[in-house]
Amino acid sequence: MLNLYDYIFYFFAIVILGSSFVVVFSRNIVHSAFALLFTFFGVAGFYVLLSADFLAITQLLVYVGGILVLLLFGVMLTNNIVNVEIKSGTMQTLPASLIAALIAGLLCGIFYVSNWYLVPTTPELLNNTTAVAIGYAFITTWILPFEVASVVLLVAMIGAVIIARREKAPEVE
């Protein structure tokens, strides 16, 4: 007997599956980018089902609002949209499919036979919103990774500027 929760799960599953196939196999790069939008939305939906509400919002902000926009900028800057058709081909399809089938088979096989060590059989979902607990954890237990993550962002910013800016006149020392 399926309840509403299950219907929502299958709905998101179909959205993600369909859109991820479009991302990988579409010949048009803009279609891929827009399909990625639906994948990100679907994954955010799963986060809500798994009671990670704050993460679902973050997923939308970071992936849809940030990464996807960046990707679209990348598409526009690297394709001369007016003149060139935005198409891109594939290569080495057979070996790649074999490798991926191997990975998928291995993972699925192991997930199928695993008896969940240390995992309770009844899911213990959190009832309250997670934002408060996450915020508290960030500035106590997880403070070091939190601060170090700021270094990641800083270095990414510096790096992106260095690599992408236009050449200026050589400096005289």
Partner 1 sequence: MIPTFQDYLNVAPIIIVSATALLEIVFQIIFKGFKKYVNIFSILGLLISIYFAIINFDKVSMSFSNMVFSGKYASFFEILFCIIGILTILQSSTIQKYYSINKIEYNVLILISIVGMMVMSAGADLISIFIGLEIMSICFYVLAGFARNQIIANEASLKYFLLGAFATGFLLYGIALIYGTVGTTNIIKIAQHYPIALSLDLHLLGLILLLIGLAFKVALVPFHMWQPDVYEGAITNVSGLMASGGKTAAFASFLLIFSIPLAAGNNNLIEIVSVLAALSMIVGNIFGLVQQNIKRMLAYSSIAHTGYILVGIIATNNFGNHGALFYLVVYSITSVGAFGVASILENEFGKNLNINDYSGLSQKNKFLAFAMSVFMFSLIGIPPFAGFVGKYYLFAAAIQRDLTWLVILGVLTSIVSLYYYLRLIVYMYFRDPENQNNIIVTNDFKIAISFSTIVVILFGIYPSSLFSVIRYIFNIY
Partner 2 sequence: MIPLNYYLLFAAFLFSVGVVGVLIRRNAIIVFMCIELMLNSVNLTFIAFSAFMGNAIGQMFVFFVMTVAAAEAAVGLAIIIALFRNKKTINIDQINLLKW
CA 157, CA 161: separation in Å to the nearest integer?
6
Q: How many residues bind partner 1 (CB under 8 A)?
A: 30
Nearer to partner 1, 5 or 117 (CB): 117
What's the min distance (Å) between Cβ of 82 and partner 2? Answer: 15
Could you give the angle at which helices 131-139 and 143-164 cross, rounded to 10 degrees?
90
Hey, is 144 helix, strand or coil? helix
Q: Please report whether residue 62 would count as binding partner 1 according to CB under 8 A.
A: no
Structure token pair of residue 116: 């969940």
Q: Please report whether residue 105 would count as binding partner 1 according to CB under 8 A.
A: no
What's the distance, CA 59 to chain centroid?
8
Are the CB atoms for 15 and 42 separated by under 8 Å?
A: yes
Task: Find, among 138, 153, 139, the residue nearest to 54 by Cα.
Answer: 138
Q: Please report whether residue 142 would count as binding partner 1 according to CB under 8 A.
A: yes
Residue 85 binds: one of partner 1, partner 2, none (C-beta under 5 to 8 A by kind): none
Q: Please report whether residue 156 would count as binding partner 1 according to CB under 8 A.
A: yes
Nearer to partner 2, 90 or 170 (CB): 90
Residue 170 binds: one of partner 2, partner 1, none (C-beta under 5 to 8 A by kind): partner 1
What's the min distance (Å) between Cβ of 169 and partner 2? Answer: 17
Are the CB atoms for 137 and 55 separated by under 8 Å?
A: no
The backbone torsions φ and ψ at residue 87, rounded to the nearest 5 degrees and listed phi first, read -125, 155
Binding site for partner 1 (CB under 8 A): 106-107, 110-111, 113-114, 117-119, 140-145, 148-149, 151-152, 154-156, 158-159, 162-163, 167, 170-171, 173
